[in-house]
Structure 1
């Protein structure tokens, strides 16, 4: 058995250990209290802290942020738009410390405010450092667009692109990098610019492009804009002009026939002014000039096929190959037809056979002929219309000097005014013919070189001088005649149909006559005497005073004269031929 002394010593040791343990617990509790108090002093309400999800309840999510008690966040702040929970137990999340303790001793946290605060912090940092942030176009608003960058922001229409955008609606739903150019968190005002980023990017590309550009180099670019005279090509921060004349070796009516905005094409640097930053570009220069060997490909007198690509008043342009066109002049379209416009013969898009007439490599011109494909009817015109042949035709046109008669399609003959009547003096063809008349004529002459046929209308009828006048009339004969027209030198009278003679002013009276109308008038009938008859010249001269003299001699009456006939002294003027 333990002695009393041993028991006492054991009791002393036990009380000492318990005391030590009690003191240690007190010290630990105080240390923990101090640490907790210190930790609460290190954070402040309104800060964002990290926490671990401990438990998910029906209405809230408990989160441990490393302090004496847990924090509570409404569960709705962890739900997606579709209603799905976005966290699980153990996830570490950022939360906003709203209140250190509520009435229940819990720390009040907010996930939503943490996210918004973090977004504003990121926006402020991007604004201060001039960095880009990504935003999605939500919709249109007055003066521009609304953008989602975590919070709503405004993108003015002038800041959307380098050039004004007409259709802003097509951008809705798309995301772009942008730059914050104005920020006021208190008012919740954020203004963005996409244009500034594009300009910065363009300046960088421009410097790189300027260093690499040199004349003769082939580069790729994008069609940026199209005008009537050409297209502007974006070479990478620098625009170059592709003139319409340098787009194709062939004919280009408008640049839009070859390119559309947005096309990526290869171009050749033709000229480059580094100081003025001007670039002239060529597209056709990528290929060999088709005109270099055009005389070998299309020798003179060769027959080829081509496509009609354009019509003008003076002819038709025909594409012979890519970049090579020739002209069929209007005069080379038909041997016989008088072509007023090329559209009467060909149409745009027609495939036709033509003959090469001439090639000019220097001026890049090719003369073509369409009519040369067919035989020239004028080469055999003498066989088709021999002299003396009687032909029938239609009066196509009247001129001051004659009438054109169509004998066949494209073949006309001319009846000169002098070949219209044996006896009448025809001053204008309309006295004998009119357009559309069917006539019979005789071929008088053919000229295949100048493509002319001379016709005679009177030659198709018997010559009255041979059949009537010489047999029926003689000098000294008295005849009846009617005045048909007056001239300054006398009056023309008709003896019978087709037979006319001249009553000279000197043969009207023995007295001096100033004007024929002082003695005679149109349609007045007289008895006259034939005083001249020239078969070769086809002239018949008549005299009123000679007739009167003969009547006076017969009647031996010197002071009597028929009514309306007054003898007078001759004036000595010569008789002129009709």
Structure 2
């Protein structure tokens, strides 16, 4: 009111707002949490929809529309639709009303642990893909997460989107169920056969395989094999008669090669291969497996297959396992440790001292000599306290003859 000028400002809007506030308060007083009521959809947003309850609006959030995944409210309702909703919450201070539709449906998570036991194989649909995995819908309202680490046996550190796609149907295995947190952990790779097990069944030790050189490292070659797995050829198993470094230089990435299976470790996901075993005149590939008949500490007769600067490549028996005698194991004395004093085809006795990662035996002439001397001392040393080592060994040899 401006008395000096005789002006009065009035507002119809203020009266209407006051009237609406009184009506809203009166309507809210007649509503209760948990009440089921019909309403009309007035507006739709990305996060939900506003529903007219007869003079007062309530918010139906997208997460309360359905137990199944809803990407946008327009997938479920449209403006002008009459919907039945339940009043979830009423804020008397702000006069805001929260509504829900899924609360009127049966909860699919009831009894989910019994319905989806651990170890069960199921078929579902990929609904969403993230950097850490993919969500798979098992039924309406029930989704499980396939973590990126459980997606593939062979594809490590790969984005899930390169393994599966949205709407794709996939076979999965239930790994864990947490009903309280409404979480199901699924495995994609567990629903498929372990490729290392499949390879071992199809290609037993001693069989020949072909593949492409995927990578060359300082210690060997990685070969791509059936089932999207890789096998490794150690540098010492590439070729006869040359050093491992020179053998590595003979092959390039992308080259097709043949190799023999030396060992398959399913648990460690490793396949050991050998290429030199396929060379003409090399020991039979099947001889690799015969190392299982050798025992640590056993003395056997071996045949020299190759003379190297670092020692001798030898073979036990006629068709037995191939192994190596290091230069330092050729004898106790320095003069005996010269590989060039041996010739290919020469036979000698050596002791099995162990096995390398490919289960190939390691032999030692030195260990055999020391074991024989110890045995001789134990048998003959006590009979003559003044006897020399030569006397003791002579007595041992005489007794054996």
Which category of TM-score, normalised to the shorter sequence, fits these structures?
Answer: 0.5 to 0.7
Aligned pair in 2 of structure 1 residues 200, 408: CA closer, same or farther (>3 Å)? same
Q: How far did residue 273 of structure 1 move?
A: 1.9
Structure 1 partner of 2:321: none
**What aligned pairs does 1:126-205 form with structure 2 within 5 A after superposition?**
202-203=20-21, 205=23
Structure 1 partner of 2:97: 279
Q: How far did residue 234 of structure 1 move?
A: 3.2
Structure 1 segments unaligned to the other structure (5+ residues): 1-181, 183-192, 471-530, 539-578
Q: TM-score, normalised by structure 2?
A: 0.60
Q: How far did residue 317 of structure 1 move?
A: 1.9
Structure 2 partner of 1:207: 25
Structure 1 partner of 2:245: 426
Structure 2 partner of 1:231: 49
How far, CA to CA, are the matches of 1:316 and 1:322 in structure 2?
17
Aligned pair in 2 of structure 1 residues 427, 211: CA closer, same or farther (>3 Å)? farther
* Higher RCO, 1 vs 2 (CA within 8 Å, ≥6 residues apart): 2
Structure 2 partner of 1:257: 75
Q: How far did residue 307 of structure 1 move?
A: 2.3
How far, CA to CA, are the matches of 1:214 and 1:390 in structure 2?
77
CA RMSD of superposed structures (Å): 4.1
Aligned pair in 2 of structure 1 residues 275, 342: CA closer, same or farther (>3 Å)? closer
2:39–2:54 CA contact under 8 A, matched in 1 = yes
Alignment equivalent of 2:143, drawn from 325, 342, 345: 325
How far, CA to CA, are the matches of 2:201 and 2:121 in structure 1?
28
How far, CA to CA, are the matches of 2:159 and 2:105 in structure 1?
36
Q: SS of 2:166's equivalent? A: coil
**What aligned pairs does 1:93-492 form with structure 2 within 5 A after superposition?**
202-203=20-21, 205-335=23-153, 340-379=158-197, 381-399=199-217, 401-422=219-240, 423-426=242-245, 431-461=249-279, 466=304, 469=307
Total equivalences in the alignment: 292
1:533 aligns with 2:339: yes
Structure 2 segments unaligned to the other structure (5+ residues): 1-8, 284-302, 309-336, 343-349, 351-361, 364-401
How far, CA to CA, are the matches of 1:233 and 1:307 in structure 2?
32
1:420–1:426 CA contact under 8 A, matched in 2 = no
1:414–1:453 CA contact under 8 A, matched in 2 = yes
Aligned pair in 2 of structure 1 residues 320, 222: CA closer, same or farther (>3 Å)? same
How far, CA to CA, are the matches of 1:231 and 1:398 in structure 2?
60
Structure 1 partner of 2:294: none
How far, CA to CA, are the matches of 1:239 and 1:343 in structure 2?
41
Q: How far did residue 291 of structure 1 move?
A: 1.0
Aligned pair in 2 of structure 1 residues 466, 453: CA closer, same or farther (>3 Å)? same
Q: SS of 2:339's equivalent? A: strand
Q: SS of 1:426's equivalent? A: helix
Aligned pair in 2 of structure 1 residues 381, 412: CA closer, same or farther (>3 Å)? same
How far, CA to CA, are the matches of 2:246 and 2:178 in structure 1?
50
How far, CA to CA, are the matches of 1:243 and 1:322 in structure 2?
18
1:373-417 superposed Cα distances (whole Å, 9 cap, x missing partner): 444443354443333333221112344544321121313212234
How far, CA to CA, are the matches of 1:409 and 1:277 in structure 2?
63
2:195–2:227 CA contact under 8 A, matched in 1 = no
2:238–2:247 CA contact under 8 A, matched in 1 = no
Q: SS of 1:276's equivalent? A: coil
Q: How far did residue 199 of structure 1 move?
A: 5.5
Q: How far did residue 294 of structure 1 move?
A: 0.8
Q: SS of 2:113's equivalent? A: helix
How far, CA to CA, are the matches of 2:230 and 2:201 in structure 1?
16
How far, CA to CA, are the matches of 2:207 and 2:277 in structure 1?
11
1:318–1:326 CA contact under 8 A, matched in 2 = yes
Q: SS of 2:68's equivalent? A: coil
Rg larger in structure:
1
How far, CA to CA, are the matches of 2:173 and 2:213 in structure 1?
34
How far, CA to CA, are the matches of 2:195 and 2:51 in structure 1?
56
1:419–1:458 CA contact under 8 A, matched in 2 = yes
More deviation, 293-302/363-372 = 363-372
Aligned pair in 2 of structure 1 residues 203, 339: CA closer, same or farther (>3 Å)? same
How far, CA to CA, are the matches of 1:315 and 1:428 in structure 2?
42
Aligned pair in 2 of structure 1 residues 376, 280: CA closer, same or farther (>3 Å)? same
Q: SS of 1:409's equivalent? A: helix
How far, CA to CA, are the matches of 1:467 and 1:379 in structure 2?
34
1:329-363 superposed Cα distances (whole Å, 9 cap, x missing partner): 44444555669344555432233443323222122
How far, CA to CA, are the matches of 2:129 and 2:65 in structure 1?
22
How far, CA to CA, are the matches of 2:93 and 2:307 in structure 1?
98
1:143-162 superposed Cα distances (whole Å, 9 cap, x missing partner): xxxxxxxxxxxxxxxxxxxx
